[in-house]
Structure 1
Amino acid sequence: MDRLSNTVRPYAWGSTTAIPELLGIAPTDEPQAEMWMGAHPGAPSRADRGRGAGEQPLHEIIATDPAAELGAATVEKFGPRLPFLLKLLAAGSPLSLQVHPDLAQAKEGYADEERRGVPIDAPERNYKDANHKPELICALTPFDGLCGFRAPEDAADLLAGLDVDSLKPYVDLLRAHPQEAALREVLTAVLAADPAEMAATVAETAVAAERLGGPYEPYVSIAHHYPGDPGVIAALLLNHVRLQPGEALFLGAGVPHAYLDGLGVEIMANSDNVLRCGLTPKHVDVPELLRIVRFETTEPSVLRPEASATGEELYETPIDEFRLSRYLLAPGAAPRDLTAPTPQILLCTAGTPRANDLELTPGTSVFVAAGEKAELSGDGTVFRATVVV
C-alpha cells in the first residue's frame, strides 16, 4: 500500500479555499481546482516504494509490471494502464459547458486528427486520446451543476419568461419542432449567431435574470463570469441540479453538462477528450460538437449510494472502467477488508481512519496494488475507487 503524493491543478475556475480547507492547510489565494489521483501522464500521482529510488510517477511504477500492479484480469480487459482517474474537484466559478464522445467516436476522432497531423497539444485538437470519458461526481458540499437538456417546452417557457426580444426566435423554434430537431436547431443557431449580436443578447439576458431571480439565479453567475459568451444562452437549455453531500451524478457520452460551484470527488475513465459548447475562451469546434451531442431530453438522475452488509456504499454506474464506493467508519467497529484482485485508490475525506498501518487524514490517498491486503479501521470517511472485471 503506497501513500500518494498528488498534484493540484490551478485552473482559473478553481476555488481558492475548498481544497486547502479539506487538507487542513492555509490557502495561497490562488485557485486550486483539481487534485489528481491516478496514473494520467498529464499529472501522475507519485509513490515511494522504499527502494532508494525516492518518489516515482505512478504510471511508471505500473509500467514496470502491469500484471502485478493491476492484476491479470484488469490488464486483459483494459490494457496495461490504470483505467480510471480520481480527483478532488473544487469549483469556485462555472466550468466550460461540454460533452464527451463515446468510445467509437473517440477512436474515430483521434485517428482522424492523427491522420491529418494535428499536433497533440494544438489548441484546436479535440481528441487527445482514443478513449471515452464517462464520469461521476459525488458531492462533499452542496454542489451545483447543469446536466442534460430540458424538455423543449420547458426551455421555451424559461427563455420566454426573460422577455428579451432577441430570445424570442429561439422560443418559437423550441415550440415549433419535435424535441430532437428543436434542441438541435436552437443550439446550432446560438453557436452560429453573430458575436456582437450574441454579446448584446447575453447582456440583456443577464440583466433580466438578475431582476427575476428564482430559477434564473444560477445563470446570473454564469453570465457574470462569461459576459457575451453564447454558452450563457446554451446553458438555459439545460437542467440545473443541486447535489447534497453524499449524492452523485453520472454523466455519459454526448450529455452536455457544466459544474458550477462546490467540492466533490470525481472519477472518470482515463481520458482527456472534451468537446466544448461555450463558457470558455478555448476552442469550440461547432460541427464536431453537433456530431457528438445527444439531442435528447433527460431528467438528471441523482445517485445515492447503495449500502451492503460489508459496510460498503456503492454508486452504481453502467460502465466498467471505474467503480466508486465509500465507507463511513465508526469508532469501535470491526475492520473492513477491502482486499481485491483489482487495483484500488483509497481517498480519505473526513476523520482519521487507518488503512492497514497507515493513518489517513482528509485529502490523503493511497494506491493498493491488485491482490494486496487492504483493511480499513478507525473513524472517518473513505472513498474507494477500483474497476469492474
Structure 2
Amino acid sequence: MQYLEGALRAYPWGSRTLLAELRGTPAPAQRPEAELWFGAHPAAPSRIGEQPLDAIIAADPEAALGARAAAAFDNQLPFLVKLLAAGEPLSIQAHPSAAQAREGFARENAEGIALGDPRRNYKDPNPKPELIVALTEFKALAGFRPVAETLELFAALGGLERYTCMLDPAQPEESLRALFTTLISLPTTLRARLIADAAASARELVASDADAWMVEVAQTFLQLTERYPGDVGALAALLLNHVSLAPGDALYLDAGQLHAYLSGLGVEVMANSDNVLRGGLTSKHVDVPELVRVLDFAELADPHAPVSVPSASEVAFDLPIDAFHVTRHRLTDGTALTVDVDGPAVVLCTAGCARSGEFALAPGQAAWIPATDPAAEFTAAPGETAELFFVRA
C-alpha cells in the first residue's frame, strides 16, 4: 500500500473553493480546480513518488492488477477515481458503449486525427459508465425525462408548445430522438428566437404557482442561457431530469445517457476512459451527428444509483458493470474497513483521518493497493469519524 498522488485538472468550470476546502489548501485557489484524478489514464496518471501509475502497472501487470484483472482488462487498470468540483455547469454530454468506443477510436485513428486534436471525439477505445456520489449538495441533469412530463412543461413555455406534436408518450424513444435532433439542429436565428421566447416564458413560470419541478427546470434554463447565451445546450437541458443530490446520494450513468453536472462536489468513479461526445454548454468541440449516434433515447424515470447497506457503516453501490465496485465506509470507534482483494484497489479519504498502522489518509488523499499487497485494515483516528471510498476491480 502506497500513497497515490492525484493529478489536478484545472478546467474552467471548476471551483476555486470546493476542492481546496476539502483538502485544507488555501481557498479560494488561484485557478479553478475541477478534478483530482486517482488512476492510470495516460492523459493524467497519478504518481507514486516520482513514477506514474500507468508505468508501474505496465512494468508488471500481474503484480499490480492480479492475474484475473490483468487478463480481463488487457493489462490496464479498468477504473478511474476522481474528486469532481463543479463551480459552473459542465457540457451536455454522453459517453459511448464499449463497441462504439472501439469503432470510433479505430475510425479516428484511420482518419489521422491526432489524439491532441480538439476535433477528436475518441481518446481511447474504452466505454465510460460512471457513478457520482455527492459530498455536498450536488445538482445535475441526468437522462431523458418521461415524455408525459415534458409535454406538460412545453405547454407552459412559450415557443416550445409548437413542438409538442412530436411527442407521443406511447412511443417515447422515437419521440425523444425526433425532438432532440430537431432542437439541436435548429438554424442559429431560429434557435436564438426560440431561446428568447422560452426564457421570457420561463421568467413568468418562476414567478407563478406552477409545480416545483417545473419552476426548478425554468430556473436552471435561465441560468444556462445567461451563462451560455444562444447555446443549444440550454434547449437540450429542457428534456432532461433535474436531479438534486444530498451528501451520500448517487447517480449512475450508463453508455448513451445524456447528462450534465451543474454544481457541487462529489466522488466520481468511471471506467478508465476520457471519451466525451458533447452537445452544448461548452466552447469545446461539439459533434452533433456523432452524439446522436451514441445516444440512448429511452426515458430514464429515476437515474439514482441503487444501493445496498451491508452494515451500519457501509453502503455498497449496486452497478450493472464489471469494471469497478464501489463502497462507502463511515468509520468511528469500533468500526473498520478491511481490504483483502485479489485485484487492484484505490482507497480515497473524504472526511476525518483514517489510519492503517503508521499509514494515514486525510481528506483528499488516496492509497494505491496492488493485487500483491497483503490485507490491510483502516480505522478512524481516535475521537474522529472518517469517510472512505473503496474502489476495486
Is TM-score (shorter-chain normalized) higher than 0.5?
yes
**C-alpha separation in 2, matches of 1:110 and 1:79:** 16
CA distance in 1, matches of 2:33, 2:311: 37
Q: CA deviation at 1:238?
A: 0.7
Give the 5 Å matches for 1:338-357: 338-357=339-358
Q: Deviations over 1:184-224 (max 9, x none)?
A: 11111111111122123223323332342223222222222
What whole-Å deviation, never above 9, does each CA across 1:304-347 have from its counterpart, x for those lacking one?
6422259542111000111111110002x154321211111111
- Counterpart of 2:239, as a letter, is L
- Deviating more after overlay: 102-111 vs 214-223: 214-223
Verify: 1:84 aligned to 2:79, yes or no.
yes
Q: Within the alignment, does 1:152 sit opposite 2:150 as a pair? A: no
Instruction: Using the TM superposition, name which of 231-240 and 178-187 deviates more.
Output: 178-187
Shift of 1:38: 0.7
Structure 1 Cα separation of the partners of residues 7 and 13 of structure 2: 17
Alpha carbons 1:247, 1:305 under 8 Å: kept: no
Structure 1 pair 125/313, CA: closer, same or farther in 2 (3 Å)? same
Q: CA deviation at 1:170?
A: 1.8
Aligned residue in 2 for 1:185? 178
Contact residue 246 and residue 304 of structure 1 kept, 8 A: no
The one of 316, 327, 332 equivalent to 2:318 is 316
For residue 123 of structure 2, the aligned residue among 121, 128, 145 is 128
Query: Could you tell which deviates more after superposition, 314-323 or 215-224?
Result: 215-224
Aligned to 1:235: 237
In 2, Cα distance between equivalents of 1:312 and 1:65: 32
The answer (yes or no) to whether the contact 1:314–1:324 under 8 Å persists in 2 is: yes
Q: Judging changes above 3 Å, is the alpha-carbon distance between structure 1 residues 310 and 179 closer, same or farther for their aligned structure 2 residues? A: closer
Cα displacement string for residues 127-167 of structure 1 (whole angstroms, at most 9, x for unaligned residues): 111111000000001111111111223212212212x23x2
> Does the 8 A contact of 1:142 with 1:243 survive in 2?
yes
Give the structure 2 partner of residue 52 of structure 1.
none
Alignment of 1:357-376 (within 5 A): 357-372=358-373, 373-376=375-378
Residue in 2 that maps onto 1:24:
24
Secondary structure of the residue aligned to 1:170 is helix
- Mapped to 2, the partners of 1:355 and 1:291 lie a distance apart of 48
1:256 aligns with 2:258: yes
**C-alpha distance in 2 between matches for 1:337 and 1:179:** 46
Change (3 A) 1:204 1:16: farther
Classify the secondary structure of the residue corresponding to 2:181: helix
Question: Which structure 1 segments of 5+ residues have no match?
Answer: 49-54
Query: Is the 1:305–1:325 contact (alpha carbons within 8 Å) kept by the matching residues of 2?
Result: no
Q: TM-score, normalised by structure 1?
A: 0.93
Q: Which residue in the other structure is 2:34 paired with?
A: 33
Looking at structure 2, the residues matched to 8 and 104 of structure 1 have their Cα atoms a distance apart, in angstroms, of: 30
Q: Please state if 1:380 is matched with 2:386.
A: yes
Query: SS state of the match for residue 172, structure 1?
Result: helix
- C-alpha separation in 1, matches of 2:147 and 2:314: 40
**Once the two structures are superposed, what CA deviation does each residue of 1:274-300 show, in whole Å capped at 9, x if it has no partner?**
111111122222222111111111112
1:51 — aligned with what? none
Deviation at 1:173, TM superposition (A): 1.6
Shift, 1:16, TM fit: 1.2
TM-score (norm 2): 0.92
Task: Measure, in 2, the Cα distance between the counterparts of 1:138 and 1:180.
Answer: 28
Shift of 1:176: 8.9
Q: Say yes or no: does 1:3 pair with 2:11.
A: no
The percentage of aligned residue pairs carrying the same residue is 45
Alignment correspondent of 1:108: 103
Aligned to 2:304: 302
Q: Counterparts in 2 of 1:139-288, with a 5 A limit?
A: 139-162=134-157, 164-165=158-159, 167-175=160-168, 178-213=171-206, 214-215=215-216, 216-288=218-290
Structure 2 residue runs without a partner (length 5+): 207-214
Alpha-carbon separation, structure 2, partners of 1:115 and 1:252 = 27
Q: What's the counterpart of residue 336 of structure 1?
A: 337
SS at match of 2:167: helix
Structure 2 SS opposite 1:302: coil
Secondary structure (helix, strand or coil) at the match of 1:71 reads helix
CA contact (8 A) 1:88 1:266 kept: yes
Deviation at 1:29, TM superposition (A): 4.1
CA–CA separation in structure 1 for the residues paired with 2:319 and 2:288? 29
- Distance (whole Å) between structure 2 residues aligned to residue 364 and residue 284 of structure 1: 34
**CA offset digits 1:37-92 (Å, max 9, x no partner):** 111111111112xxxxxx21111111111100111111011111111000000111
Range that drifts further, 317-326 or 368-377: 368-377
- Which amino acid is 2:245 matched to? L
Aligned partners of 2:16 and 2:32 also within 8 Å: yes
Q: Distance in 2 between matches of 1:83 and 1:121?
A: 22
